[in-house]
Amino acid sequence: MLYHLFTYLDREFDVLGAGVFQYISFRAGMATLVSLLIAMIFGGKLIKVLQRKQVGESIRDLGLEGQLEKKGTPTMGGLIILLAILVPTLLFARLDNVYILLMLVSTVWLGLIGFLDDYIKVFKKNKEGLAGRFKILGQVGLGIIVGLTLYFNDDVVVRQYIFSDGSTSAVNASTRWIDVKSMITTIPFRKNNELDYCNLFSFAGPAFQDWTCYLYIPFVILVITAVSNGANITDGIDGLAAGTSAIIGMTLAIFTYVSGNTIFADYLDIMFIPNSGELAIFCLAFVGACVGFLWYNSYPAQVFMGDTGSLAIGGIIAVLSLIVRKELLIPILCGIFLVENLSVMLQVSYFKYTKKKYGEGRRIFKMAPLHHHYQKRGYHESKIVSRFWIMGIMLAILSLATLKLR
């Protein structure tokens, strides 16, 4: 909103200082500051409201140290994160940008699904919350919206450079270029790292190239569902999901900025995605929201984000990765989420297998997800969270290294 207002004032009345809103870096910095302030100021007020409403977390006794002490801690704290993302984005981002609109829809969509789940748990006293099939249905619905938008919207383009022999490339900048609809993505650590989804059916002939959307949209659904559920599973101890997401968000902010800036894209020899630089504002609002939430969620937590926050932050990370064509980097960038997800899948699968084969279920881990395994081994929550953050930073650095290591 402020971008459009100050652009108008600068153009029509030449208002002193109004032109600064043309700079993404300024607006991104302001979005970070405002999101931090909203999370820290509004967060305290919301916690008091939740306490008055007795919106407390129901704790199952899993035999973990200090677990029962958390009984009654307010949940639905994800509302703090959502507000701290949405308000700065609406204030400082360009609202005519398709990517910003897509991120706003994704945030609200998954936030509502998570809120409904928390509402059923807290106010309807149903510990199971929203039925799993309805959560999946909501994630699939968002995946379809995102997939169709990225595949068919005319504003979703990449820049193809034209060379003297008539060939084109999304990297290796030349003086001649054209912005085209393309389903190109990038393969990490590969020199000629372009992968065109349209070519996946090339072996079957030109008639089958139109089948790309039938492969791409299910892939988008898979990515959104997997990352969203991974963040949800990771949200098991104080500060883990919020801190890990802030690290991932900062990494994606760098990716969005360099991918949307012709100078950096040319220097790094990476794909230039027109108008994607605006997403740096959203990313830094996201980072500010997560860091601001840690003010209350770090050990010992005064509030839990609940599914309202965890489903939303996972979906946000997934959609951002898809927009900047870094979805194949998710196993590295979101390595913490991946490991947490895999630990649950392995634990359940092995238990069922051994129960069928030996008559009794056996476990790989003392408890799943993985952070509970370390709790069972006697590690304190804060130490587990700190070490997971360190691993998250290492994975983020490795992800950024793909900009040059090819």
Instruction: Tell me, rounded to whole angstroms, the distance of Cα 133 from its chain centroid.
Output: 22
Q: Are strands 168-169 and 158-162 parallel, antiparallel or unpaired?
A: antiparallel
Cβ 151 vs Cβ 213: under 8 Å: yes
Do 105 and 145 contact (CB within 8 A), yes or no? yes
| pLDDT for residue 284 is more than 90 | yes
pLDDT band at 406 (very low <50, low <70, confident <90, very high): confident
pLDDT tens digits, 47-82: 998 888 766 666 665 667 666 667 778 888 999 999
Sole residue written with tokens 């998710």:
330
pLDDT tens digits, 120-134: 988 887 877 888 899
Paired with 224 in beta bridges are none
Angle (CA) 99 277 330, round 5°: 70
Coil, helix or strand at residue 131: coil
Kindly list the distances between the CA atom of residue 237 and the CA atoms of 80, 81, 269, 377, in Å, as whole numbers in the listed order: 18, 17, 40, 15
**pTM reported for the whole predicted model:** 0.94
Give binding residues for Mg(2+) as ranges.
Answer: 232, 307
User: Residue ranges per domain, the chain?
Assistant: 1-156+188-195+207-267+276-402
Residues at the binding site are 232, 307
Peptide bond connecting 331 to the previous residue in cis, omega within 30 degrees of 0: no
